[in-house]
Amino acid sequence: MQDATAQMAVLQFISSGLPEAAVPSTIHCDHLIEAQIEGKQDLDRANDINGEVYNFLGSAAAKFGLGYWKPTRA
């Protein structure tokens, strides 16, 4: 799942009441990074603006057995 849509997917999964994902799944946090200045500054800006989203997705992934790829520079 990508970060932009994974928020709703994870919320829907949580409402299902299942203890963990039935199939291997991962969340990739790279779609909320906007290319505006250069790599490091854009990544720092995305972390500042979307930090709450990234924290939610990371903690939900850990709780429900999902893979999590946090936003990083290539």
CB atoms within 10 A of CB 28: 15
Q: Output the pTM of the full model.
A: 0.86
Q: pLDDT digit string (tens) for 59-70?
A: 999 999 999 998
- pLDDT > 60? residue 55: yes
| pLDDT level of residue 74 (50, 70, 90 thresholds) | low
Name residue, tokens 């500042």. 48
